Chains A and B, each alone.
Chain A
């Protein structure tokens, strides 16, 4: 136990040895020293570009491109593979698992190889693409995007793993899932505006087709709704970027240069609101949230888990990169309005969740209530809260996905997700009950699970800036606690109905993907420093750029 603690301190204590240049081998040696240490005791390093250093020979220069494009390339191949017999379908699934697993391994390796790049982006790739528009193929990551990249790779892997029951057109299904992964990873990694908008649209289109093709009873309506909102988000984002590119000097779509180019005049407010609306749709915030619960509930379970887990993170990432990073001044002026929006969303999600009968819809509202805290963190512009916000995005992404996957497993066995119809399943599905409780408690912020550190940091950081709002948010979080306890009680406890006496417990595959998520929730709950060590530099650079 003591050694565990010392390991923790080793991972989380400040060490002057953490030089901005990656010195350690990027391949994890399995020892503690491979984990990048946290903070040098000196203030933020200068923004001197260290690009030669980070194109370090140890890691291939195509690392990010690999993480972005491998899924969709494999997906395209899957479309051509024959899938008439059961064996051929199993092979299709295996390919998809291998592809997403490969990306996950790359993401984890990147995590270990990542060291602070001193104010610049890491693993940058830049190729000329559309010079006339001021746009280029420019990828790169900092701590924030890396954390979310790992999240999206993990969720995609789990979603592919959990999609064992797809009988119709499995090739197309997995191709679309992989397209979604490409879009998410690309959006997190892209440093070019046009590229970002392009990647932004990919998950939306694939969600539309996945819901429409493989969804539940109300799939048509839900799919169109998701598409309408999603394209609206993409459109708003594109518009904001185009306006920025037109008005900024020098004219460019490159996010790094844009970061340094200053916008002036009323156009700042316009771009701010346009991009905020784009992100609010995905986060989702009231009043543009109605698509979210529909999409989560009507999508096939694995896709629902992706929607509920990864799309809010995409919206949150936009908030960080654009709203917190570029518009700190505007944000400061309209903070009151943003906070009202935050609190409405938080309470709206929590209260409506308690009124749902469909478990998946309840969880979707829960996720919405949680992601409102990300906006609270962004509005506070405090480094502590922003760190917490990233932790919270990762934690609630994994927690929501776990809950939705378990819901899917329960629904597959009982044929219903209605809270009135389910009872006492703990006797038949004890593993599902444990996984559900872990996911739910992670969302409520119980210590030892990943949600806790994020929640605490958000509250500690936001309170000095926004006292009333933070207090209301803390009390509003009780709604989430109530919902998790109440649903767990409805589904798993009490006496079991006659209809559910013959259920079988989770199989190996289902247990595997549930356990991966649960283990990650516990790991990050005990060692949040693993994430924060990398994220914090991204936050500091973001804030330095925003104010300076």
Chain B
């Protein structure tokens, strides 16, 4: 699509401003949400139309921006002032200002385009699967809002603006996951997500405060020059990078901060697809990619990113293999995939990691839309009760199968190219450990994907009481369309790794200071062998229970890490609250009791004097004031001695 636009509009592309295009793309979903809120809040049809129009407009502008960036790669910003005032401090701190604006470079344009595509198609799918549900319009508004927030994250020019939209994405994730607020599980999952994401927000805030303290600046482009300027020691940079990475970890569900992700599937299928593919989950990887200069300036932080990414990728793939529930399996596949991106970013395979991020965005959206259709048809999540769905749901089966194959690197699908590019980078300068981790994660995730696909779609449908497999139908037409379009996108994106007409992705989206990588044949071959072997292994393992039940359950819950954290926090806070309440009532109030008793005493004495009510109160007040003044004198003179 981009190529077509590029060819069709080669003239205007030279003159149109990419920042204007991305700004328009940013505001389209917000505008649509506002129009729905203001005008069509009572009309499902009108709201749906507005949502689709808003997403389409966003897609158009994002495509134009990408086309411009492909033809003329460059970094352009336009910023406005959010808040500015004079501080009266000497030197460079004499003016405090916070800016916001938009940033157009190849990275932001490409990610924005992927976001716009996923948002549009997911909204399209939502028109059907939730049209009769309660809160359909609310879902549309929140999905548009979350898209807007993520677009803001993508286009942010500085840490302040990034943080604003970052927190709004958390909020969007919370509202989407908790959309079905009558279902206790969904509400719990939403709370869980908000606390995890809120922790990430706090870490990012600390990082921002620290960066501002050190550099008196928050702009990405100015900071990228300042990091290496020697103004801050290596340890300072490491702390900054680790804080930023901590925030990214909560989003990209890196071990051990992954607890929110399995619950995210509680959202309605389109919302889950949006949260886990293009918005919340991806924002973590995008954060590291956007602030890559900071990581580049601190090699130790890059090592941490690599290790955490590698461990998460492998562990999540193992978790996925042991899953007994469809959506949990897909969640862990997604998480493993995000781990691979982190690993690649840490090891320096920047362009390949971004390509993998963009390509798998579409595949993940397919997975969760498809899983929604499957669970709706089967009315169960359990893998053991599924089977033989391919003939009954051909579109869902084929698209999910292709997405799973693509994400795990089967040639010639999308993930093959990006995983191959990552492996090429890892193998060429001999980063053996990282290369082995990436290949192992690829093998395991392919096995999990193959097992999942074979279990759900092949074999025979398991018999259950009061359930007739004959009545299973394929997904409704709009969802089918969305699934096919997303699948096609996920298949073709990877081919961009090849230098087509001199505009290869790997040379387009680059980090400063890293040489562009090109996929090598050996690495591609290795990736292909690993993926096919893994997929076949998983296929062979279909229907078998891999691990004993308790182990499986432990693995399913992510090794109870999040349970332990939740339990510890709950009990600590609860005990603290009880203790503080005790202090409030029995220690502090007792000190006040004297005053209170004095008041009662006065009023009693006065009552004995048979004075009227009004005088009583006034007298009580006066005596109270005098008493308090005396007490204050005593207390403060003691305090004064201490201080003086």
Answer yes or no: are A and B bound together in one complex.
Answer: yes
A493 and B178 contacting across the interface, CB-CB below 8 Å = yes
A270 and B580 contacting across the interface, CB-CB below 8 Å = no
Known A205-B621, A453-B83: A239·B633 in contact at CB below 8 Å: yes
What's the least CB distance linking A412 to chain B, in Å? Answer: 23
A residues less than 8 Å from B23 (CB atoms): 2
B640 and A273 contacting across the interface, CB-CB below 8 Å = yes
Q: How large is the interface on B (under 10, 10 to 19, 20 to 34, 35 or more residues)?
A: 35 or more
Mark out the residues of chain B between 31 and 83 whose CB falls within 8 Å of any chain A CB in the assembled complex. Answer: 31, 80-83
A352 partner, pick from B210, B584, B640, beta carbons under 8 A: B584
A227 partner, pick from B86, B624, B640, beta carbons under 8 A: B624
A463 and B85 contacting across the interface, CB-CB below 8 Å = no
Interface hub of A291, A447, A456 (most chain B Cβ within 10 A): A447
B202 and A475 contacting across the interface, CB-CB below 8 Å = yes
Mark out the residues of chain A between 502 and 548 whose CB falls within 8 Å of any chain B CB in the assembled complex. Answer: 528-529, 532-533, 536, 540, 543-544
Question: When chains A and B are docked, how far (Å) is the Cα of A170 from the Cα of B635?
Answer: 40
Q: Determine if A38 is an interface residue (Cβ-Cβ < 8 Å).
A: yes
A residues less than 8 Å from B184 (CB atoms): 494-495
A486 partner, pick from B165, B191, B632, beta carbons under 8 A: B191
A residues less than 8 Å from B212 (CB atoms): 460, 463
Mark contacts of B592-606 with chain A using CB atoms, 8 A cut-off: 1 yes-contact digit, 0 otherwise: 100110011000000
B640 and A355 contacting across the interface, CB-CB below 8 Å = no
Mark out the residues of chain B between 332 and 366 whose CB falls within 8 Å of any chain A CB in the assembled complex. Answer: none
**Segment with Cβ contacts to B, from A307-315, A413-421, A476-484:** A476-484
Mark contacts of A328-362 with chain B using CB atoms, 8 A cut-off: 1 yes-contact digit, 0 otherwise: 00000010000000000000100111111000000
Smallest Cβ-Cβ distance to A267: which chain B residue = B640
What's the least CB distance linking B210 to chain A, in Å? Answer: 7
What's the least CB distance linking A458 to chain B, in Å? Answer: 10
B589 and A12 contacting across the interface, CB-CB below 8 Å = no
Known A494-B181, A532-B85: A474·B80 in contact at CB below 8 Å: no
What's the least CB distance linking A184 to chain B, in Å? Answer: 20
Mark out the residues of chain A between 411 and 439 whose CB falls within 8 Å of any chain B CB in the assembled complex. Answer: 424, 426-427
**Segment with Cβ contacts to B, from A104-112, A230-238, A295-303, A317-325:** A230-238
A471 and B206 contacting across the interface, CB-CB below 8 Å = yes
B621 partner, pick from A231, A467, A479, beta carbons under 8 A: A231
Mark out the residues of chain B between 197 and 216 whose CB falls within 8 Å of any chain A CB in the assembled complex. Answer: 198-199, 202, 205-206, 208-210, 212-213
Q: Determine if A269 is an interface residue (Cβ-Cβ < 8 Å).
A: yes
Mark contacts of B630-644 with chain A using CB atoms, 8 A cut-off: 1 yes-contact digit, 0 otherwise: 011101110110011
Q: Determine if B560 is an interface residue (Cβ-Cβ < 8 Å).
A: no
| A-B contact number at CB 8 A | 217
A277 and B636 contacting across the interface, CB-CB below 8 Å = yes
A351 and B163 contacting across the interface, CB-CB below 8 Å = no
B636 and A270 contacting across the interface, CB-CB below 8 Å = yes
Smallest Cβ-Cβ distance to B181: which chain A residue = A493
B202 and A13 contacting across the interface, CB-CB below 8 Å = no
Question: When chains A and B are docked, how far (Å) is the Cα of A6 from the Cα of B101?
Answer: 12
Q: Determine if B492 is an interface residue (Cβ-Cβ < 8 Å).
A: no
B629 and A383 contacting across the interface, CB-CB below 8 Å = no
B181 and A228 contacting across the interface, CB-CB below 8 Å = no
B31 and A494 contacting across the interface, CB-CB below 8 Å = no
A355 and B578 contacting across the interface, CB-CB below 8 Å = yes
Mark out the residues of chain A between 240 and 284 whose CB falls within 8 Å of any chain B CB in the assembled complex. Answer: 266, 269-270, 272-274, 277
Q: Determine if A166 is an interface residue (Cβ-Cβ < 8 Å).
A: no
Known A224-B599, A235-B632, A481-B195: A387·B88 in contact at CB below 8 Å: no
Known A277-B636, A536-B85: A459·B187 in contact at CB below 8 Å: no
A482 partner, pick from B165, B167, B195, B206, beta carbons under 8 A: B195
A1 and B202 contacting across the interface, CB-CB below 8 Å = no
Mark contacts of A391-427 with chain B using CB atoms, 8 A cut-off: 1 yes-contact digit, 0 otherwise: 0000000000000000000000000000000001011
A residues less than 8 Å from B624 (CB atoms): 227-228, 231
B574 and A463 contacting across the interface, CB-CB below 8 Å = no
B87 and A384 contacting across the interface, CB-CB below 8 Å = yes
A269 and B632 contacting across the interface, CB-CB below 8 Å = no
Q: Determine if A94 is an interface residue (Cβ-Cβ < 8 Å).
A: no
Known A228-B595, A348-B580, A448-B168: A494·B632 in contact at CB below 8 Å: no
B30 and A447 contacting across the interface, CB-CB below 8 Å = no
Beyond the given A456-B163, A464-B213, please list 8 additional residue pairs across the A-B interface where CB-CB is below 8 A.
Answer: A1-B30, A44-B86, A228-B592, A353-B577, A355-B576, A446-B167, A447-B165, A492-B181
Closest A-B pairs by Cβ, 6 of them? A355-B577, A447-B164, A493-B181, A1-B27, A383-B87, A39-B86
By a beta-carbon cutoff of 8 Å, the part of chain B in contact with chain A is 23, 27, 30-31, 80-89, 95-96, 160, 163-165, 167-168, 171, 174, 178, 181-182, 184, 187, 190-191, 194-195, 198-199, 202, 205-206, 208-210, 212-213, 573-574, 576-578, 580-581, 584-585, 588-589, 592, 595-596, 599-600, 621, 624-625, 628-629, 631-633, 635-637, 639-640, 643-644
